[in-house]
């Protein structure tokens, strides 16, 4: 294994790329759920967790600072080029999301650097998605905030990540065994205040894009893990 020299002053980000073809875009909920699962799969991968793993140092440097996530979109040849870099592709219902090991904020690889990051959006479902299954992990979105799909994907990725960090080894193993089953839903406005006060993991946005700093974007509920 090659040794990676890391600069502690460098900020790392986690790149995610969502596959969006003009004539066949994924459903918004599918893309959000795929992004959250992609983050969890990378965090649990041996390349990230084992000290000798090829992604271990980069993941450690990223988690020791902000856990920023940046979502870009790709189609056609762009998507195929993005697939040549080391990473993990998550296919979920109509969506495909590829996640990569963390990189320095200002050192995007050429296969990803030109991909669009702003304005990544998908139509909201015309009919509400079904209620989450009993006991299913749920990432509840703030019903009062308007976010593009790309922004919301990063936020649910944060929500899944924070829940993972709060879990012990047994709970993590249980989520792995469940193939990181989860749902993303917009919370009922009447239920939102209780969710934010419940003591469950809460994502508060840094305010780099789209919404005000400190905005509460996601609350994560994992009933079977006591979260």
pLDDT in tens, 63-122: 998 899 999 999 999 999 999 999 999 999 999 999 999 999 999 999 999 999 877 889
Q: What predicted TM-score, i.e. pTM, was given to this entire model?
A: 0.94
Q: Which regions of the chain are under pLDDT 70?
A: 1-8
State how far Cα 109 lies from the chain centre: 20
Distance, CA of 66 to CA of 138 (rounded, Å): 23
CA distances, 225 to each of 99, 139, 200, 219, 221 (Å): 25, 14, 11, 15, 9
Torsion of CA 96, 101, 104, 106, to 10 degrees: -20
Q: Tell me what pLDDT residue 8 has.
A: 58
Q: Tell me what pLDDT residue 207 has.
A: 82
Q: Domains in the chain, please, with CATH?
A: 12-109+130-225 (3.40.1490.10)
Q: Read off the tokens for 170.
A: 């047994």
């Amino acid at each position: 294994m090659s040794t990676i020299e890391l600069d502690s002053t460098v900020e790392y980000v986690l790149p995610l790329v969502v596959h969006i073809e003009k004539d066949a875009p994924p459903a918004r909920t599918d893309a959000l759920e795929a992004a959250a699962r992609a983050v969890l799969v990378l965090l649990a991968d041996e390349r990230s967790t084992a000290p000798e793993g090829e992604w271990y140092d980069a993941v450690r440097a990223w988690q020791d600072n902000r856990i920023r996530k940046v979502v870009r979109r790709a189609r056609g040849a762009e998507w195929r080029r993005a697939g040549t870099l080391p990473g993990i592709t998550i296919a979920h219902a109509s969506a495909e999301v590829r996640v990569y090991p963390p990189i320095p904020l200002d050192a995007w690889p050429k296969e990803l650097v030109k991909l669009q990051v702003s304005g990544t959006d998908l139509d909201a479902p015309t009919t509400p998605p079904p209620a989450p299954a009993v006991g299913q992990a749920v990432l509840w979105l703030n019903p009062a905030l308007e976010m593009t799909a790309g922004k919301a994907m990063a936020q649910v990725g944060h929500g899944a990540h924070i829940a993972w960090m709060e879990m012990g080894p047994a709970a993590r193993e249980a989520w792995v065994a469940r193939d990181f089953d989860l749902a993303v839903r917009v919370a009922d406005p009447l239920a939102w205040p209780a969710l934010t006060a419940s003591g469950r993991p809460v994502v508060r946005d840094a305010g780099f894009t789209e919404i005000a700093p400190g905005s509460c974007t996601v609350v994560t509920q994992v009933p079977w893990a006591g979260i």
